[in-house]
């Protein structure tokens, strides 16, 4: 208002006390270096600048666009030049600022159009950044912003636009603005845009291993662009190329090469889009023909890409020169495979997120048949990056792997791959081998080789699909393992679905195992025969966590021949053994051998026959014991929520005369509704398809009552003292549920 009016057209240049203010609208993602740019200019420039920063304008709270507009207007009125330090990535965001400046003020745009990866890595690393955009969210936010990025045009009202796509561009722009004296103006027009029409840049996500290069390296429009790539990925205008470092203190982050780092990224849930990153199988050390392998990869991807919902498959290779990547890209492109669901990526599979900004919850490992760390290539890298817990977790799942098979291994939350990269599962896969120096060489038999390679990808993708499926359980019944997870929970999440094929594998192994046990178990050593690859698991309804101590029954069920001392009977379906800590004079367990059937909650109608078998075998043993001691009374049933993994039927004598019965919980687990009588369970499963569970914690802490006369007792010793004498008849409901007694001991005690 107090400025001279209307005279600037004929005001002689240089006579002015005050120059004409400039408004520079910074355009760039978080981490692109906007604030640094402004600060540098303001430090060096003799012109009065104000930086209007949305990150800081709210004084701790999130700033608003309105605050920025007001602050900018005030500064301009004072004759100051203004930096609008916010992302301003689309014209809608810029419009009002442009309007604020024009026509009195020159409105410039400085576009920091830097590689997404660089922005992400800075945003993630930045601690205490003013915008508070830290950690894992940063990548998602930056990606989302860049996906909708709209580069500024002169037609929006800018008098000058400068595009910076690399270090030297930024340096040049910095010097230009830093050198601006109060009276200077800059030429109008758009500068520095390498390819104004570029709507689609390199399509395939690429990522080069981080390299340090001199800060003054030339512009990196080296354009090693892949012709096939843009057809495959349809990422939006990520005009992101080049070597970049904006400020001296970030100069170490220089990265070389073209960098369309993250392309088809889901809009607002990047971190939660299930993604499998997998290396090309067998084409490296196993010397499988690349042409044939790429054919199979694309064929299998095409087959699975529709079966995995919104999940993504990403073929990863260390080098962009990889022949397999370009073969696959070309073939995928021909087949019009949905590029948002399948693409290739150049990078280190153990650092996809931290170095490449690509979130993958599952990575595949080209494993060796022994499932051992070491060797070389991907296997060594993954085991090394995952830390020792992967080896341990792998051992728990399988001891070896046959070509064509895969095994899903949940990662411990302590593994760096989990905490740093967000990987929840590693799927070990073994492909066919054509290298005479390696085991199981197929000697150029590509008929078998292709078959096995197809099987390997099928196993891998099925394993991934099973994880996707399990992790898609609605909220409330399941916690996303990325955010909250115990190591034990992983066990369950890894349970893959039954596939027809897998079922066969499982059946085969099962027969073999049983045969082995009948023949004194000499056949089934871990290294001489393939271990059941854990694919026969059923989909379960519970997500109970099983600690390491809860696995012993499971191990016995899987390999009863190794536990001969404790095992009384082995059949195809069950193992019978004495409870290690019997709660009565007789207490045995009829253990199901059905893999994946961990507890009563997992039981469905298909298991009815198994339940009947278990009951019959339990009865048989109870009767045997009754022959030895006719005073015994047995009850057969299941715990609603067992502590030990693997479905087991308790056959327990009702004297409860045992030093191992020590706690309230012990008593109540056999003498409240928590104990589900076998006959009831079979009835419920038969009529409702599942058993009724009474797994309320309260049941286990209920007052102690005699199971016969229902009298209450203050503590375990008193209760035990009572039950040793009580001869009251059993309550009707217990009797009805089928207590097993000797004929002369029916219902009542003699």
Partner DNA sequence: GTTCTAGAAC
Q: Where on the chain is the footprint of DNA (CB under 7 A)? A: 547, 549-550, 580-581, 639, 642-644, 660, 662-664, 666, 669, 701, 704, 714-718
CB-nearer residue toward DNA: 213 or 716:
716
Catalytic entry in 290, 506, 639, 648: 648
Alpha helices in 126-250 (DSSP H): 135-147, 167-178, 229-232
Report the run of H or E that residue 433 belongs to, with start and end: none
Backbone angles phi and psi of 50, in degrees to 5: -125, 135
Closer CB to DNA, residue 254 or residue 614? 614
Q: Is the dihedral of CA 146, 151, 156, 160 positive or negative?
A: positive
Active site residue 648: yes
Q: Residue 257: which of 208, 217, 321, 319 has the closest Cα?
A: 208
DSSP E strands in 249-341: the ranges are 275-279, 312-317
Nearer Cβ to DNA (52/550):
550
Q: How many other CB atoms are there within 10 angstroms of residue 471's CB atom? A: 20
Determine phi and psi for 652, rounding to 5 degrees: -130, 130
CA 103 and chain centroid, separation: 52
Q: Directed axis angle between helix 678-688 and helix 608-628, to 10°?
A: 170
Cα dihedral 314, 319, 323, 326 sign: positive
d(CA 626, CA 638): 21
Q: Residue 589 CA to chain centroid, in angstroms?
A: 37
Structure-token pair, residue 487: 């190591």
CB of 544 to DNA, least distance (A): 11
The length of the chain, given as a count of residues: 750
Least spacing, CB of residue 567 vs DNA, in Å: 18
SS3 192: coil
Token output for 87:
């992302």
Q: Which CB sits closer to DNA, 332 or 601?
A: 601
Q: How far is the CB of 547 from DNA (least distance, A)?
A: 6
For DNA, the closer of residues 360 and 649 by Cβ is 649
Instruction: Pick the closest to residue 113 from 218, 46, 193 (CA basis).
Output: 193
CB of 703 to DNA, least distance (A): 10
Residues near 191 by beta carbon (within 8 Å), at least 6 away in sequence: 160, 161, 162, 163
Report the residue number, 39 or 696, with the smaller CB distance to DNA.
Answer: 696
**CB 642 → DNA: shortest distance, Å?**
4
- Residue with structure tokens 């095992």? 567
138: Cβ contacts below 8 Å, ≥ 6 apart? 30, 31, 120, 123, 124, 126
Which is closer to DNA, CB of 106 or CB of 602?
A: 602
Q: Cβ 726 to DNA, closest distance in Å?
A: 17
Q: How far is the CB of 671 from DNA (least distance, A)?
A: 13
Instruction: Show the tokens assigned to 512.
Output: 């073999």
* CB nearer to DNA: pick between 241 and 639: 639
- Least gap, CB of 546 to DNA (angstroms): 10
Phi, psi of 511 (to 5 degrees): -60, -45
Q: Residues with catalytic annotation?
A: 648
């Amino acid at each position: 208002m107090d400025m001279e009016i209307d005279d600037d057209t004929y005001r002689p240049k240089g006579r002015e006390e005050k120059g004409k203010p400039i408004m520079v609208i910074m355009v760039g993602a978080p981490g692109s270096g906007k604030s640094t740019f402004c600060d540098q200019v303001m430090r060096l420039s003799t012109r009065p600048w104000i930086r209007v920063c949305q990150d800081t304008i709210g004084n701790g709270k999130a700033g608003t666009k309105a605050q920025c507009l007001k602050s900018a207007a005030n500064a301009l009125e004072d004759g100051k030049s203004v930096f609008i330090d916010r992302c301003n990535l689309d014209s809608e965001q810029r419009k009002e600022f442009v309007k604020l400046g024009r026509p009195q003020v020159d409105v410039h745009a400085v576009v920091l159009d830097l590689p997404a990866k660089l922005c992400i890595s800075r945003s993630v690393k930045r601690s205490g950044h003013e915008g508070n955009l830290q950690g894992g969210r940063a990548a998602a936010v930056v990606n989302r912003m860049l996906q909708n990025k709209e580069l500024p045009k002169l037609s929006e009202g800018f008098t000058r636009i400068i595009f910076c796509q690399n270090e030297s561009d930024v340096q040049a722009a910095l010097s230009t603005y830093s050198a601006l004296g109060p009276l200077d103006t800059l030429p109008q027009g758009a500068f520095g845009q390498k390819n104004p029409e570029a709507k689609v840049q390199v399509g395939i996500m690429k990522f080069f291993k981080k390299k340090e290069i001199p800060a003054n390296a030339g512009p990196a429009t080296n354009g090693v662009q892949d012709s096939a790539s843009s057809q495959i990925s349809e990422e939006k205008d990520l005009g992101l190329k080049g070597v970049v470092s904006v400020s001296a203190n970030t100069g170490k982050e220089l990265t070389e090469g073209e960098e369309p780092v993250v392309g088809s990224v889901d809009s607002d849930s990047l971190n939660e889009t299930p993604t499998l990153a997998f290396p090309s199988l067998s084409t490296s050390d196993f010397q499988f023909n690349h042409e044939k392998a790429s054919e199979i990869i694309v064929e299998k991807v095409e087959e699975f890409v529709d079966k995995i919902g919104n999940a993504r498959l990403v073929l990863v290779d260390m080098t962009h020169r990889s022949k397999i990547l370009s073969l696959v890209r070309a073939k995928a492109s021909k087949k019009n495979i949905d590029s948002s669901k399948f693409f290739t990526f150049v990078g280190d599979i153990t650092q996809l997120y931290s170095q490449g900004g690509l979130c993958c919850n599952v990575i595949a490992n080209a494993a060796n048949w022994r499932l051992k760390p070491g060797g070389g290539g991907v296997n060594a890298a993954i085991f090394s990056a995952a830390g020792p817990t992967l080896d341990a977790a792998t051992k728990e799942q399988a001891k070896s792997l046959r070509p064509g098979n895969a095994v899903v291994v949940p990662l411990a939350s302590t593994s760096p791959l989990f905490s740093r990269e967000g990987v929840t599962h590693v799927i070990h896969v073994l492909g066919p081998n054509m290298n005479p120096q390696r085991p199981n060489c197929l000697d150029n038999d590509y008929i078998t080789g292709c078959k096995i390679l197809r099987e390997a990808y099928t196993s891998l993708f099925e394993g991934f699909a099973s994880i996707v499926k399990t992790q898609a359980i609605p909220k409330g019944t399941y916690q996303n393992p990325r955010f909250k997870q115990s190591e034990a929970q992983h066990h369950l999440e890894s349970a893959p679905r039954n596939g027809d094929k897998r079922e066969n594998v499982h059946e085969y192994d099962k027969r073999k195992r049983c045969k082995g046990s009948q023949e004194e178990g000499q056949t089934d050593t871990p290294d001489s025969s393939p271990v059941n690859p854990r694919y026969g698991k059923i989909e379960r309804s519970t997500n109970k966590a099983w600690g390491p101590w809860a696995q012993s029954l499971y191990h016995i069920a899987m390999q009863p021949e190794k536990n001969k001392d404790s095992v009384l009977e082995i059949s195809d379906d069950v193992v019978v053994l004495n409870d290690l800590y019997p709660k009565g004079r007789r207490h045995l367990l009829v253990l199901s051998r059905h893999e994946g059937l961990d507890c009563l909650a997992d039981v469905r109608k298909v298991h009815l026959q198994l339940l009947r078998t278990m009951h019959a075998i339990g009865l048989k043993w109870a009767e045997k014991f009754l022959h030895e001691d006719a005073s015994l009374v047995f009850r057969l049933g299941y715990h609603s929520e067992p502590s030990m993994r693997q479905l087991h039927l308790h056959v327990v004598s009702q004297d409860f005369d045992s030093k191992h019965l020590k706690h309230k919980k012990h008593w109540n687990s056999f003498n409240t509704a928590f104990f589900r009588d076998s006959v009831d369970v079979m009835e419920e499963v038969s009529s409702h398809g599942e058993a009724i569970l009474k797994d309320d914690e309260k049941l286990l802490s209920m007052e102690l009552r005699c199971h016969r006369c229902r009298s209450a007792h203050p503590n375990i010793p008193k209760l035990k003292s009572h039950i040793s004498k009580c001869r009251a008849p059993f309550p009707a409901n217990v009797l009805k549920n089928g207590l097993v007694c000797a004929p002369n001991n029916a219902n009542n005690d003699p």
